Structure 1
Amino acid sequence: MPVLDIQSLDLSAVVAIFLASGLVVLLCGVRLTRLADGFAARSGIGQAVTGAVVLGALTSLSGSVTSVSAAAAGHPALATSNAIGGIAAQTMFLVIGDLVYRRANLEHAAASLPNMLSGSVLMILLGLLPMAALLPPVTVAGVHPLTPVLFLIYVLAVRATDRAGRQQNWIPRQTSETRVDQPDEQARRIGVGLPLVLAILGLGAVVGVAGYLISGSALAMASTLGVREGLIGAVLTSTVTSTPELVTTLAAVRRGALALAVGGILGGNTFDVLFMAFSDIAYRPGSIYHTLSPDQVFLVLLAMVMTAVLIFGLLHRERRGFANIGFESASLTVLYAGGVAALVWAF
C-alpha cells in the first residue's frame, strides 16, 4: 500500500492538497506554540523541557506517520531518509530563527542546561544507528534489539533533563541578552487543566494529518521527476513534514520563548530518531537499520556534526556575529547546503 494513494489525482488537485495542508499546519503550528508555552508555565517544567518533549513530539507527528507508513509499505529508504533528513532540515530552522531574532545571537540568548543535554542525547541516539547497521542483523520477532534501547534511552534522558532543569546544578552566565525561563507562580496555581491538554493533543493530531497530506502530495509531485526514493525522503518529504517545527520555532522566537524554540527543535530531532524505532517495528522483512545505504549513513553523520555545532554554539555563546547571527548559524548553513549538494551529486 503506498504512503498516500493520490497518484490518480491530477496535478492541480495534488497542488491544492499540498497548499491547503500547509495552511492548516501554519495556523495550527502557531496556536500549538502558544499552548505549549502555556503548558510550560502552568506545569512548572520549563520551556526547554516542554519544547523537547511536548512540542517536539507533537510537531513530529507528521514525519512519524510518513516514516512508519513507508516502512510498513516496504519502502525502508524513504522511511529512514525522511527520519534522518528531517533532523538536518529542522536544525537549519534555528538559523532562520536566529535571523528573525535581531537582539542577539539566538544560541547566546537561549542557552540552558536542558537544551544542551537534549543535544547530547540526540548525538548518542544518532551514533547508535550506524553502529547497529554494522552489527549482525539479529532480530526478535522481526524487531532489532536496538529498537527498545532507543525508547529506553529517550525515556531516561527526558527524566534526567527534567531533573537537571529543576536542580540547576549548572546554569549559563546571565548577560543583558540572556532570556531566562522564569517560573510563573500565578500560572502554576491555575494548573494545567484538562481543556489545555485536550487542545494540545487535538492540534497535534490535526498537524499530524496535515503533515501526512503534505508528504503524500509532495511525493506525488516528485514522482514524475524520477528522483530516487532516498533523495526524496532526505530532501523533500523530510522538509515538508518538518513544516510544523519551522512554524513553531519562528512563532516561539517572535514571542520571546527562546528556550522553547531551541528545545522544540532539539526535542523534535530526538523524537525523529525514534521514527527509526517505530519504522523498525513496522518493517516486517527484518531490521530496518541494516537497510541503511551509504547516503543515509552520510545523513546520520551530517546530523551529528550539525548537532555538535549547535551544542558548541550554546556553550560558546557568541553574542553577535556576521549578519547578526552566530558563527554556528553560518556553519550550519554551509554544512546543510554542502550536505544536500553531496546527496544530489556524490551518491
Structure 2
Amino acid sequence: MTAEHWPLPLSALALAGALLAIVLVGRPLARTADELADRTGLGEAVAGGLLLGAVTSLPGIGTIVTGGLRGDAEFTLANPIGGIAVQSVWLAIADLLYRRANLEHAAASLENIMQALVMIALLSLPVIAYATPDLRLLWVHPASLLIPLFYGYGLVLIRRLRREPMWHAEQTPDTRQDSPDTTVRTRTPVLWWRLAALAVVVAATGYVIGEAGLGIVAGTGLPSGLVGFTLTTIVTSAPELITLLAAVRIGAITLGVGNILGGNIFDSLMLPLADAAYRPGPIYAAAGPAGLLLTGATLLITATLCAGLILRERRGVGFEGVAIPAIYVGAVALLFTLG
C-alpha cells in the first residue's frame, strides 16, 4: 500500500458510510421524482430517465474523476461501464420482489425501449475507440466527443416517439399505466428544491467512494478493474437500486425502470469525463483488454434487457431476469482471470 492511498480499514469504513447515506435518501428521492413527473407532465419513463437517472448517477462522477486524476485507467473506465451492468442486475432483483407480473411486462413503455437502444448505440463508440487507439484530439479519443452528440440526438428521438408513437405496447391486466396523481400535497418549487438537496447529498459520496475504492485496490492487491466493476459500482449504483425498489413499492413501475435505463445512459455520458480525467492519453487503449471485455459484456446485458422489454413475458421472472445476472457473473469471472 502506498502512502498516497487511504488505509484499507478507513477505505472499507468510508464505503460503508457512503452506502448508508445513499440508502437514506433513496425513498424520498423516488417520491419526489414521481410527484415531479405528474406536475411537469414529463411522464414516469422520461422523469425516471432524466430526473432520477441524472441524480442517481452523481456518485459515479466523483469516483471517475478521482480514478482518472490518480492515473488508474482500468479502475476509471470500469466504474461507468460497471455501473451500467450492475444497474441492469438491479432490475432482476426488483423482478423477484414484484410478484404481480414480470417487471418488464408491467413497465410497458416505448420510451424505455428507445432508451435501451440509445444505450446500445452509446456503448458501441468505446468499442470503435478500442480498435483505433492512436486517434486522439489532445489526449482524448474523438469517439468520446461523439457520445454526448449521440445522446442529444437520442433525446430528440425519444421526444418524437412520445409525441407521435408509431407502435403501441399491448395493454394487459398486468400493465401498470402512468396515471398522474392530481392531488397537490407540496408546491412544485419546493419539490425542485428538495430534489436539488437530495442530489447534493448523493453527489457528495462520489469522491469518498473513489478514494476508498483505490485504497482497497492498494490494500488488497486486487485488480483495479475488478474492484471498479464490482465493489465501487455496487455502492455508486445503490441509489438506482433504492429508488427502483421505492418506485416499485409505490406502484411507479415505469418510473423505476426508466430510472435504471436513464441512469445507464448517464453512466455512458461519463465515459468522455473518464477519458478527459485520464491525462496520459485516450483511456481506452490504456485500460487494455479488461476494458474491452467489460464493454462487450455490458453491451450484451443491455441488448438482453431491451429484448425483455420488447417480448414482455407475462408471469414471473423472464429470461432477461436470469440472463442478465448470469452475464454479469461471467464477466466478473473472466475479468478475475485476466487480472
Query: What TM-score comes out, normalization by structure 1 length?
Result: 0.91
Q: Which amino acid aligns with 1:330?
A: V
- Percent identity, please: 40
Residues in 2 aligned to 1:221 and 1:200: alpha-carbon distance in whole angstroms: 32
Q: 1:333 aligns with which of 311, 325, 333?
A: 325
Q: Report what 2:336 is aligned to.
A: 344
Change (3 A) 1:221 1:317: same
Contact 1:92/1:333 (<8 A) preserved: yes
Offset at 1:211?
4.0
Q: Report what 1:210 is aligned to.
A: 205
Offset at 1:87?
1.1
Residues in 2 aligned to 1:289 and 1:273: alpha-carbon distance in whole angstroms: 14
Residues in 1 aligned to 2:75 and 2:331: alpha-carbon distance in whole angstroms: 18
Change (3 A) 1:237 1:36: same
Change (3 A) 1:140 1:295: closer
Q: Report what 2:311 is aligned to.
A: 316
Q: Which amino acid aligns with 2:114?
A: L
1:47 aligns with 2:47: no
1:56 aligns with 2:53: yes
Contact 1:43/1:191 (<8 A) preserved: no
Residues in 2 aligned to 1:291 and 1:54: alpha-carbon distance in whole angstroms: 33
Residues in 1 aligned to 2:140 and 2:11: alpha-carbon distance in whole angstroms: 35
Q: Report what 1:88 is aligned to.
A: 85
Q: 1:159 aligns with which of 156, 170, 174?
A: 156
Q: Which string of whole-angstrom CA distances, capped at 9 and with x for unpartnered residues, describes residues 164-185 of structure 1?
A: 1233332200000000113455
RMSD of aligned residue pairs (Cα, Å):
2.2
Offset at 1:163?
2.9
SS in 2 for 1:224: helix
Q: Report what 1:78 is aligned to.
A: 75
Q: Report what 1:66 is aligned to.
A: 63
How many residues end up aligned between the 2 structures?
Answer: 338
Q: Which string of whole-angstrom CA distances, capped at 9 and with x for unpartnered residues, describes residues 57-94 of structure 1?
A: 11011112111221122221111011111111110000
Contact 1:142/1:285 (<8 A) preserved: yes
Offset at 1:289?
2.6
- Which segment is superposed worse, 289-298 or 174-183? 289-298
Contact 1:43/1:192 (<8 A) preserved: no
1:7 aligns with 2:6: yes
- Which segment is superposed worse, 309-318 or 334-343? 334-343
Query: What TM-score comes out, normalization by structure 2 length?
Result: 0.93
Contact 2:27/2:246 (<8 A) preserved: yes
Residues in 1 aligned to 2:172 and 2:148: alpha-carbon distance in whole angstroms: 37
1:143 aligns with 2:140: yes
Q: Structure 1: where are the runs of 5+ without partners?
A: none
Contact 1:68/1:275 (<8 A) preserved: no
Q: Report what 1:286 is aligned to.
A: 281
Contact 1:215/1:240 (<8 A) preserved: no
Q: Which amino acid aligns with 2:146?
A: V
Q: Report what 2:196 is aligned to.
A: 201
Q: Which amino acid aligns with 2:232?
A: T
Contact 1:95/1:329 (<8 A) preserved: yes
Offset at 1:214?
3.5
Offset at 1:213?
2.2
Contact 1:253/1:261 (<8 A) preserved: yes
Q: Which amino acid aligns with 1:266?
A: L
Contact 2:65/2:76 (<8 A) preserved: yes
Offset at 1:343?
1.4
Change (3 A) 1:342 1:138: closer
